[in-house]
Each structure stands twice: as structure tokens, then as C-alpha cells.
Amino acid sequence: MTLLNDHKQFDPVRPGEQWFFYWKTSASLWESRIVQFPQHEIIFIPLYWGFHADSGTDWDFGRIQPERDLLRLTQLLNQHGRKFCWILPLTPAPFLPNGGISVYSARSLSIGREGVHLAVFDHEFNLNKMFSYFEPKVFQSFTGFLKAFGNFLGTNKIKAPIWGASFFYYQEGEKYSFMEDFSIAFDQGFSRYLKKTFPKGADVTNPRTEAELKASFTKEVEQLFNATAEAALGPFWMGVQKIVSLGAGPRESIIRSLPSGKSQLGFTRDIFQHFVNSEWISSALLSFQEKKELLNWILAEHFGSTEIEQRYNYQGQSPQLEQEFRRFGVVDIFGGKRHHESEKIGLIQFLENNFRWLYQSQDQLPFNPEWIDLNQSKLKFFHGPDLDRTTFAQILKLFMMGQRILLNRSGLGEAFEKKLQIFLIENNIKIQEVNFMTPTQLCELGEGRLILFEGDKLVENSSKEKYWDELFKYFNLVQPEIIMDDDIFTMWRIRATSQHELSYLDVRRVNIYNPTSYKKNVTIKTHKHFAFMKMIDPTRATAKSTTDGVDIELLPNGKIALDFGHYEEI
Amino acid sequence: MSLNLIYHFQISQNQDVDFRPASYGVVYFFSQDGFLDPKLLTEMSKTVPDADHSHLHFLNLDDLKAFALRVCQELSIREVRLISVQDYNIGLDGSRDHKSFNSIFDKYGEILINESAKKKGLLSKLFS
């Protein structure tokens, strides 16, 4: 795809991830823009709810302004046979002026934890200022909108699903919600909350206690917005998506305003970091210049239509591999994010060195049949302190289903320890004790493996990577070895073999990207488990087959994809 | 080429058992090319006695200015603009787009000139 084509495809009304910004263009142009979406794609319509406010209490869905005519919009979508759904912001939305709040209730600007106002550049470099959701008028206005919108949907028999969306930004490796606020509006709300929750007075002299109370107040308000939306729009409500906006946050606003702007490398690094953290991203804030070639390719190839529809549960995946490539990973890590436990015990470092972008950190265990079948082959790590009774029981079930579980028992509650011992005895589990760097128990039940280890003892050990090295040898995970610089990015996918490829177990594709302005070399060693099959779409890149793998040369902004057949060990 | 520094004033705090005196802290420090290297900033802050080098907190505004100028000298940059978080927020409030955002520092920043770079500039012009 050329730069010219990219430019043609960039449309401020369709800024990415199949979103449609109806308020960004004249209603007379909606139809021409809608037909530009590929027929099969679901169209996501973020609701700019403040835009529909005709006064503090009246809501307009087309009676006054044609650009607010959501009935006409839905009729156009139906007329062209497009599937669509609404996205309702439940926090300030960075891509909307005032964060989505109407001018009648936008009173107090949101303040971030460093004391600066939350202001974000949109994809046209307009500065969107976020307003506090803790201002009582905002909630009143929000409930007013929900009521009017619910009536509008009911009256016009519009049955499209509605997703709630909470928006986040990353700053220096930490995730922050756009709900978080340190403004006077927040302080006033917090003071009312304290009076109500602690009628006899609360002791907030300790800054830590105060911070904890503020966090729980923020969470309660967030839940209030969620619950109110769900109650008002119940029949159409699908749930809440957490979305990380690329290019948002006070620090990002500064860097994006500079003449040099944020580099492709910077954005690519963010995207891959969010991928590892299992965060769903939005590129709606990025301009054409920022979203040029390489970034566009990465977004299209790995966060495109299929991934979007899977994320919003429109498309399931079969537990068996199919002819279409799907994302491939080997490890899922649950919990341990809050105190960076996985980093402390050296697990992340090991995975970064050996299974880069083949692992993901998850917030919670999605214990449902589809997920269990789909992720059967992945190793699953759990951290003791983060377990509740349900997750603990689910871990044991997964083990009994034949899955491979690793449990860091440091910080595991006494009750869980007891349950674990009873479980092992009752089920007559075969246990091997190993004392290598830290006491480790290898439990086996059929194909199931449960590895119990004490992570605390690894924290201070300078050669802890050796522990993981040995442990992973036990699991015998085979994967081509990639030798590359830190600023080269890869994404693996997998598919079933076709009739002509029966000598292989599966086929794996690696996409390699060079977002730097330097020439880079990458070497892939196949280690007698993989055979190089072909290269796909090399752009400013070349690949050469060697006796033990493939040598690749990537020019600046170059990319290539390579297919490997996976065969059994000789 | 100039540097921009956003700072905030923090009142004294009792963090558990540790007492932290009132201070001026660096929030963002950047040039036209991006944010300055945190390692360089920590190193430069060591030229200011009594500063909290790890958090870049300074006991008074003069110390913060001395630090900012020291960074300017190290990078041979002509000037640094200092702006408090409060002024930055006022500027943000009045900004609508990229252009008005960039003018915040011109409007509200206090300019400190790095005299050594200025002299160097003149001399280099004479001999070029």
C-alpha cells in the first residue's frame, strides 16, 4: 500500500477500529461515508452524548439538527445492509470535545495525578479537554441522556446492541483511567462520600488511607455510571469494554505537539506493550501523519476486523486450528500486575528473551468453555496473593482437565494452602519434589501438570533466569529462535495444515516489523523443528534461507512475513 | 532551540513516618526533540545541594532555576522556559488546538537565558 493510498483511506469520520464519528461530518455525507466501510465489517458508533443536548434537560435526536438525527443514521445503515452497534462512553472519552460532556454540564476540568489538566489531541490536532465526571451535574445530565436515548430506541424500534466503554491512557508504563480526577469537583464529591460512608467521621490523616479511600470512591462512581447505563439500556446492553487510547494522556499531548512528534517506534512499542497486557486499543486519536505506513500495517494485520469482532463477541473461534491464521501465544499470566510480581521473580525477563510477544498478562481468568478449549495448550501462571476462592477452584479444575498450570504459592492464603494439600491427597496426585533455587513441586494427573513454586525465594537470586530455563525445558515448548534487536517487533500466528502440508503439525507465520530509521538484521533459527516455507509481502525487506534458518534484512519501515512448517522432533 | 520545564509546588507531607518538606518538583522537562533523559536530569540535579535527586524535587524556586540552567549548559541550549502547573493549566484552558497549545510556553513561561551558550553563539557566528 502506498502513502498516497494511505492518505486516501484516512478519513476523520472513520478514524480506526471501524468507528464512525457521525458528528464530524454533515448528515448529508453520512451515506457516502457509510458505503466506504467494507460490507462485512460491523460499524461501531460512539455516542457523543453531550452533542445531543439541546439545553440542560432537552435531548435532540434529529428534531433540531440533522447531524443529531440518529434515526436517519440507523435507517441508512439498515438500507445498506450494515451491521452496527453503539459505543457509550462511561468515562471521559478522549476523542470527544469536553470528553463527551455537554457544554451545559462541563464545569470542572479533570486534573491528572501530576496536577495538570487532562487535555488530549484528537486526530485533527484539536485539543479535547476532559471534564470531571465527579461534578454532580454530569451524572444528572448522563441519566437524562440515558432516559431520552432509551425512549428513542424503544419508540423507533432500534435493536442494535450497545457497548459501554471505559477509556484509559498509559503513562510511563502505568495505566490510568480517564475517570481518575484530582480536581475540586472530585474533592467535593469525596468529602460528601466520606460524610455519608463514615457518619461518625473518617480518619484520613494517613496519606495511604486517604489514597485508598479516594480509589474506592472513584471505583464506586465508575460503577454508578456503569450500573445506571446498564439499567436504562438493559435490553440492548452487551457489557463494558476497557479501551486504551493511543496518544492520550498529558505526557503524550506534549510529545505529540513537538515538531518531531511521537515516533513510529514509540507508537509501535506502545501497541505491543498493550498487546502483552491484553489491553484493547483505539487508534482514533492518531493523525494521518502518525498513523502512516508501518503503524497502519500493524493495526490492520493484527488489530483488524477479525480481532475487533472477536473482542466484541461477534465472532467465535473454533478450539481446533483452522485454515485461517489466528494469534499464537504460549503463556498466559494471571494477576501479579499490581506489584509487578512476574518481573520480580524473573519470569517476564525470561519470556522477553525467549518468547517475546508470545505471552500475555491477563486481569482475570475467563473461565468459560470456549476460552478453556481455545487456550488448552497455553501455560497458565497464577500468583498466590491475587487468588480468590473462585479462581483457586478454577485453577484446580483446569489442572484436572489436563492443562498446564504454574502457581506461585508465595503469599497464598493459609486456607488455600490447606485446600491444596487436601486436593493433592484426595486425588492421589503424583508429586515430584525438586529443590533447585526454590522448593518446587511437580504434580501430574494424566496430561495435567501443576507446578507449585515459592516465587519469593527467586526475587533476590541473581541467576533466576536459569530456573525458568529449566522449568520451560520440562514443558518442551518448541518455537523458532529469533535473534533481533529490541526495537524490532514480531507477531506470531498459527493455522492448521492444508492437504498439501500433511508432513507438518501446523503452520506458523511470523510478521516482522522495523519501525526504526535504521537498517536491521534478523536471524531465525529453526532448530530442526521447523521448515521455512515461504515469505509473504516483503516491503523494504529481503529474506535468505540458510542451513539453520532464515536471515532477514529490513530497511527502515520495512516489514515481512514468513511461514514455517512445524514438524515433530527428529 | 529552547528547553521547557513544567514544575509544581508541593506542600510539606508526612508520608507514614517520613517527613517531606515543601518542594518544587519537576513534572515535565523537554526540548523540541522530546523529553530529556531522566538519567541526565538526575545527574544534573546533583549539582544542587539538598535536592531530592531521585524525584527531582528542589527546596526552593532558585534551586529549581539553577538546576534548569545547569541542564541548559550541559546541552548547550540557549534558554529554558519555566512554567508552573497552575500557569500551564490556565494556558491549556485557553487552548483549542496544536498552535495555541504550543504558544502556552511563550505566553506564560519565565525565560532563563544560558549566558554561556549565548556567548558561544556570537563567537561562532563571528568565526563562521
Q: pLDDT tens for residues B65-102?
A: 999 999 999 999 999 999 999 999 999 999 999 999 99
| Cross-chain Cβ contact A117/B92 below 8 Å | yes
Q: Cβ contacts (< 8 Å) between B32 and chain A: which residues?
A: 258-260
- Nearest residue in A to B6, CA atom: A116
- Of the pLDDT bands very low, low, confident and very high (cuts 50, 70, 90), residue B51 is confident
Q: Which residues are within 8 A (CB) of A109 and not within 5 positions of it... i.e. 6 or more apart?
A: A117, A118, A129, A130, A131, A132, A183, B89, B92, B93
- Mutation pick from B8, B19, B24, B95 vs chain A, by most beta carbons of A within 10 Å, is B95
Q: The cell 526475587 sits on which residue? A: A459
Nearest to A125 among B8, B93, B97 (CB): B97
Look at residue A199 in the predicted model and tell me its pLDDT.
84
Query: Could you say which DSSP state residue A543 is in?
Result: E
Q: Dmax of chain A from CA atoms?
A: 77
Provide the residue count of chain A. Answer: 570
User: In the Cβ-directed half-sphere of B80, how many Cα atoms lie within 13 Å?
Assistant: 24
Look at residue A477 in the predicted model and tell me its pLDDT.
86
- Chain A closest CA to B48's CA: distance in Å? 23
Cα(A242)–Cα(A90) distance, integer angstroms: 10
| Cross-chain Cβ contact B100/A127 below 8 Å | yes
Q: Cβ contacts (< 8 Å) between A107 and chain B: which residues?
A: none
For chain A, list residues with pLDDT below 50: 1-7
Q: Cβ contacts (< 8 Å) between A127 and chain B: which residues?
A: 92, 95-98, 100-101
* Reported pTM: 0.91
Asked if B12 reaches chain A (Cβ–Cβ under 8 Å), the answer is no
Q: What is the pLDDT of residues A13-50, one digit of tens each?
A: 999 899 999 999 999 999 999 999 999 899 999 999 99
Mean pLDDT, rounded, of chain B: 86
| Backbone angles phi and psi of B39, in degrees to 5 | -65, -40
Q: Cβ contacts (< 8 Å) between B28 and chain A: which residues?
A: 250-251, 254
Is A401:A367 a contact under the CB 8 Å cutoff? no
Nearest to A116 among B16, B32, B89 (CB): B89
Look at residue A404 in the predicted model and tell me its pLDDT.
95
| Cross-chain Cβ contact A115/B27 below 8 Å | yes
- Nearest residue in B to A130, CA atom: B93
- Nearest residue in B to A258, CA atom: B32
| Cross-chain Cβ contact B85/A116 below 8 Å | yes
Strand partners, A483: A523
Provide the residue count of chain B. Answer: 128
- Mutation pick from B97, B100, B102, B108 vs chain A, by most beta carbons of A within 10 Å, is B97
| Cross-chain Cβ contact A258/B30 below 8 Å | yes
Cα distances (Å, whole numbers) of residue B103 to B92, B96, B97, B107: 10, 11, 10, 6
Cα(A131)–Cα(A115) distance, integer angstroms: 14
Q: N- to C-terminal Cα distance for chain A? A: 41
Nearest to A114 among B27, B35, B92 (CB): B27
CA-closest candidate to residue A278, choices A309, A253, A241 = A241
Q: Which residue type occupies A377?
A: S
- Nearest residue in B to A262, CA atom: B34
Q: Cβ contacts (< 8 Å) between B92 and chain A: which residues?
A: 109, 116-117, 119, 127, 129
- Nearest residue in A to B105, CA atom: A254
Asked if B33 reaches chain A (Cβ–Cβ under 8 Å), the answer is yes
Question: Count of CB contacts below 8 A, A vs B?
Answer: 65
| Cross-chain Cβ contact A127/B6 below 8 Å | no
Cα(A411)–Cα(A392) distance, integer angstroms: 13
- Nearest residue in A to B17, CA atom: A206
Look at residue B120 in the predicted model and tell me its pLDDT.
57
The vertex-A41 CA angle with A38 and A42, nearest 5°, equals 140
Q: Which residue type occupies A309?
A: E
Asked if B42 reaches chain A (Cβ–Cβ under 8 Å), the answer is no
| Cross-chain Cβ contact A259/B32 below 8 Å | yes
Q: Cβ contacts (< 8 Å) between A207 and chain B: which residues?
A: 13-16
SS3 B36: coil
Q: What would the grid cell of residue B55 be?
A: 524525584
| Cross-chain Cβ contact B98/A257 below 8 Å | yes
- Chain B closest CA to A293's CA: distance in Å? 22
Cα distances (Å, whole numbers) of residue A238 to A161, A164, A230, A274: 6, 8, 9, 23
SS3 A192: helix
- Nearest residue in B to A126, CA atom: B97
For chain B, what is the radius of gyration of the CA atoms?
16
The vertex-A408 CA angle with A407 and A412, nearest 5°, equals 100
The vertex-A91 CA angle with A88 and A93, nearest 5°, equals 75
Q: Residue B32: in which H helix or E strand, if any? A: none
- Nearest residue in A to B85, CA atom: A116
